[in-house]
Structures are given as C-alpha cells and as structure tokens.
Amino acid sequence: MHFEDLTPQQKEKAIACKTPDELAALARKKGVRTAFTKDITNTVDGKEAFLRLALDPKGECDRAQSFTSCPFGGCYLQLARGAIWPCQVAAHHGSFARRFGYDMHDAPADSLPLESIGSTDDIETFRRMPHPMCRHCDNDALTVVPWGRSKLSADEWLSSR
Ligand code: SF4
C-alpha cells in the first residue's frame, strides 16, 4: 500500500514518530527490519540528523554529474517490483510523484529485472553506472537536516536551487 492510499487518520499515525527509535519500533511492530546508518555529520545542534534529498522533478540535472556526487547510487541497491534498482529514488519516486503531481517516470535502464540477471557481474556493471533517473537528483544541493516530523510538503524533498 502506498502512503497516499492511507486515510487521514492512518497518515497521522504513520508520521507521529518523533525519534528514529520510535520509527524503528513501529517498523518492528509491522514486521519490517530497519537500520539507521551514521552519516558523516551524525548530529546537528546535538540532534540526530539525516541527509535530505534535493530532487529536481523537471529532470534537468546532468545525470553523470549527479551520479558522481551521489552518496546512494550503487551502495543502497533496492529490490522492488521484480527488479533491482540503484537507489531509493529510482525505486520509490512513484509515491512522491503521485502525491505531489510531478511527472517523474523511470525508464527501462533504471532497473535490472531479476529474470535478466545471469551473473553477479551483471549487477556490478549495473550498479556502477549512471541511470536515467539520476537527472532528477541535484546532489550538489543535498543538505543535512535534524531529525523531525514531516510537514508532508513537497519542498521537504526538492532542491532549493
Ligand atoms: S537516481 Fe541516481 S543520482 Fe539519484 S539517488 Fe539514485 S543513483 Fe543517486
């Protein structure tokens, strides 16, 4: 089920977690395993922080440049919709695009269908190259923000440049 399919009450409950520990506990209750990684800054003003994406819905970024400066691509492969994806943006942008009405679409080269994989070399090659979806990432504008409750507004995920 996608977030936008939830009722207002369910949405409220889903975003009520105020700390990473609360979120992990909620995930555990739902049978979902989570692991928070320590980013290079770790804390901002004494609070836990995370790396905020800087998406460009128009897709005007240079995909090779975005991939080169990407902290996620190839490191955080995702398994979704019967395929391997290079990152969370490529695998899960659909919910964001539908919720906020953006015209963001993945291309066949953004994923590696499981049935097409013949060897680990196929995965290695795939994970080391830029993908069409990379044009939607303004990775020179990534920011580190303190952990906090979402306002559920698109600007939390958009590049501010
Ligand atoms: S789409 Fe490309 S640039 Fe954006 S997070 Fe994924 S791998 Fe990185």
Pocket test for ligand 1, best of 52, 65, 84, 89 (most atoms within 8 A of CB): 89
Do 23 and 43 share a domain, yes or no? no
DSSP string, 82-130: TEEESSHHHHHHHHHHHHHT------GGG-EEGGG--SHHHHHHHHTS-
Domain count, the chain: 2
**Residue nearest to ligand 1 atom 7, measured at CA:** 73
The 10s digit of each residue's pLDDT in 91-122 is: 999 999 999 999 999 999 999 999 999 999 99
Structure confidence by residue, pLDDT tens digits, 45-86: 666 777 888 999 999 999 999 999 998 888 889 999 999 999
Q: Do residues 3 and 67 share a domain?
A: no
Tell whether 30 and 41 lie within a shared domain: no
Tell whether ligand 1 has an atom less than 6 A from the beta carbon of residue 111.
no
Domain that holds residue 76: 37-156
